[in-house]
Amino acid sequence: MLYTNILLFNIKRNVATVLQDVHIKEDLIVAVDLIGQSLDPSRFATSPDQPRYVFAARDDLVAKLLYYLEKDPSGQPSRLKAAILEACASLVYPFHSS
């Protein structure tokens, strides 16, 4: 779990600096989507003596993704908007019962 937190901290710290290019932004959003899919609670071994995994950065990532969705000046559908919505769904759905 420590490795996961270190990985997420580094991703969050470095993502903000490269989000100027739309293609890079889309690739990073797809990476967030994949992280959300990999953090599905069903993938973690659970036992009575092991605490349930809590993805602390989930709310912050969803808020940032929704900010980028609102910031998009075009009112038209785009691949970027689709990637944002998919990433939000991956981050929210597995944890809906928490």
Give the domain ranges of the chain. Answer: 2-95
Q: Does residue 11 register a pLDDT over 60?
A: yes
Helices (H), 39-78: 58-71
Could you give the percent of the chain with pLDDT greater than 70? 70
Q: How confident is the model over 61-80, as a mean pLDDT?
A: 85
> pLDDT-based confidence at 71, cuts 50/70/90?
confident
Q: Does residue 58 register a pLDDT over 70?
A: yes
Contacts of 80 (CB under 8 A, 6+ apart): 22, 25, 26, 29, 68, 72
Q: Count the Cβ atoms, other than its own, within 10 Å of residue 69.
A: 16
> pLDDT-based confidence at 97, cuts 50/70/90?
very low
Looking at residue 52, its amino acid is R
What pLDDT does 20 receive?
65
CA dist., res. 62 & res. 65, Å (int): 5
Give the residue with greater pLDDT, 17 vs 12: 12
What pLDDT does 42 receive?
66
